[in-house]
Amino acid sequence: MQEYQEYLKQVTLIHQETIRRLINYDHTPPLDLAEMFEGIANQYLDISEQIRDHYFLAQQATALPSLKASQAAETAD
């Protein structure tokens, strides 16, 4: 997960600098700003899904052995 956190730090730094430059440039067309914000939002949605999938799979992996044990106990009775 440490590598992923480094990736997130890099992504957010790039986004911060991109936003800063575009906002500070007075001649940035509004549609370019809108497109940039949409692209950033989509990237953060992708990151959110990746994190959710990672933890969902991790929870399933830890729950599976206990589920199998409880099912085995039920069938043994």
Domain boundaries, the chain: 2-68
As a whole number of angstroms, the distance between CA 22 and CA 39 comes to: 14
Model confidence over 23-69: pLDDT tens digits? 899 899 999 999 999 999 999 999 999 988 888 877 777 766 665 66
What is the predicted pLDDT for the residue at 40?
94
What is the predicted pLDDT for the residue at 62?
75
What is the predicted pLDDT for the residue at 45?
96
- Give the CA radius of gyration of the chain: 22
